[in-house]
Amino acid sequence: MQYNKDLTDALEFVWGEGILSPGGPEEVTQMLEGVDLSGRRVLDIGSGLGGIDVLLAAQHGAAAVVGIDVEPQLIESARHLAARKGLAGRVTFQLVKPGKLPFADASFDVVFSKDSLLHIADKRPLYAELLRVLKPGGWLIAADWLWSEGAAESAVVLAWLSKLQLKFAFTQPADALQALIEAGFAEPRVTDRRHELQEVNRNEVALLAGPVRQKLAAIVGTEMAESRLSSAKGRQAALDSGCLIPCYLRGRRPT
Ligand SMILES: C[S@@+](CC[C@H](N)C(=O)[O-])C[C@H]1O[C@@H](n2cnc3c(N)ncnc32)[C@H](O)[C@@H]1O
């Protein structure tokens, strides 16, 4: 288990109900720019606590959202959240094993993923699966953390990674674009979001170091609260060094 309860409580405290990744609801809206989810069937890869899946249905109009994740305790929490919001019929969750997706070809109008693909090492089979489950004309809309050439040897990046309990499999933007093309995506796009995420991260550091420090420590313990601050500072240094490159990935299944 990578996402234990103290960690998810701390992340949710910062980003909002059921959300484990930077930027919260505003970032989800930004990711979806130009794509209308009304009446659409959406697959969310790495749904975590399910907060984003609730937003995709309740705020962005998706007709059905299926969230998948590899951690059973997250799937359970996500199901409870959807039920609490009265969305259990439209927003469902499925525990999966890494690898082939348990869905028929052309099952979804949109495949969405926020800050989860970086946990999956083998990008080429992953992108092929994402394309396979999309209907012709359907969109892949993902946010992912990538890194620059040489980042694996960067002292700043290594210092940040050494503070984390999570395992990541980064790729470079040019490789991600090539992998999308090779998988067969039309209109492939990798958009560098480092400036926006630098700002988001700066605010996170200020928040964790300032007004909520004691409050978060009271919820998850001093060690976890300090570890979140230290991780946010390390991530800021990695972002500012240019080594860590948060990106949006987009592509479309050809019609
Ligand atoms: C940073 S969290 C993001 C969760 C959610 N997307 C959000 O933004 O709140 C990454 C998620 O990816 C999940 N994950 C890791 N490997 C996965 C895999 N092979 N397939 C699906 N989900 C995976 C983790 O369990 C975790 O819930």
Asked whether the predicted pLDDT for residue 141 surpasses 90, the reply is yes
121 falls in which pLDDT band (50, 70, 90)? very high
pLDDT average, residue stretch 81-109: 97
pLDDT, tens digit, 9 for 90 and up, residues 129-138: 999 999 999 9
How close is the Cα of 148 to the center of ligand 1, in Å?
22
How far is residue 78 from each of residues 31, 47, 160, 222, measured CA to CA in Å? 21, 8, 29, 26
Specify the residue with its C-alpha closest to ligand 1, atom 26.
Answer: 48
pLDDT average, residue stretch 201-213: 94
Ligand 1 near 224 CB (within 6 A) = no
Beta bridge pairs of residue 178: none
Asked whether the predicted pLDDT for residue 230 surpasses 80, the reply is yes
Specify the residue with its C-alpha closest to ligand 1, atom 24.
Answer: 46
Q: Among 114, 65, 115, 119, which Cα is nearest to 93's?
A: 65
DSSP letters along 28-60, please?
A: HHHHTTT---BT-EEEEES-TTSHHHHHHHHTT
Pocket test for ligand 1, best of 81, 119, 123 (most atoms within 8 A of CB): 119
Question: What's the confidence (pLDDT) of residue 98?
Answer: 94
List of residues 6+ apart from 26 with CB closer than 8 A = none
Asked whether the predicted pLDDT for residue 57 surpasses 80, the reply is yes
Question: What's the confidence (pLDDT) of residue 155?
Answer: 96
Question: What's the confidence (pLDDT) of residue 67?
Answer: 98
Mean pLDDT, all residues of the chain: 96
Q: Which CATH code fits 5-145+169-193+246-250? A: 3.40.50.150
List of residues 6+ apart from 16 with CB closer than 8 A = 24, 25, 51
Q: How far is CA 137 from the centre of its chain?
A: 23
- CB of 190 within 8 A of CB of 176? yes
